[in-house]
Amino acid sequence: MSANAPENVHFKLTDDLWEAMAPLEGAAVTSLVIWDSSLVDESLEGPITDETRVYVDFELYLEDHILLELYGAAVLPDENSEALVGLDAIGEALSALAAEGAVIQEICADQEEGMVLVLTSESGASLFVAVTAWLQTTWDTLPEDEL
């Protein structure tokens, strides 16, 4: 993780953090913003291009003015698949799910205690988001309302 990482960033989903975040299960995604770079980019080998990008940083705006800032997130179609590759493919998958009424179905940990979000839509589509680091804050204005 970069020396530029914000303060209060979490890297492991401890029992205490899971208990604090468990109420977010079932929370609806109101909006999202995907960045074209990630805080983990400098720790990766080789040049990272939009076409080769696996890890993204994005903001997940949830109901009740909760904002999850997700860093170094890999987006997978299911728990047995490889991560999506390419900024366009990742953005399209997340945007399509959000447009279908995405909610956080489950918050769990991977084998290294990293956080994994299971996002599902009303149609039953889902994505697994394995997160390197995250920060939970609040939002006042949705990105589309700031124009």
Q: What is the pLDDT of residues 47-60, one digit of tens each?
A: 899 999 999 999 99
pTM: 0.91
Sign, CA dihedral 27-109-68-32, equals negative
Whether the predicted pLDDT of 81 surpasses 70: yes
| Angle at alpha carbon of residue 93, lines to 91 and 94, rounded to 5° | 65
Cβ atoms 25, 11 nearer than 8 A: no
Contact criterion met (CB below 8 Å) for 63 and 28? yes
pLDDT (0 to 100) of residue 3: 45
pLDDT in tens, 37-46: 999 999 998 8
Q: Kindly tell me the number of DSSP H helices and DSSP E strands found in the chain.
A: 2, 7
And the tokens for 97?
A: 């799910």
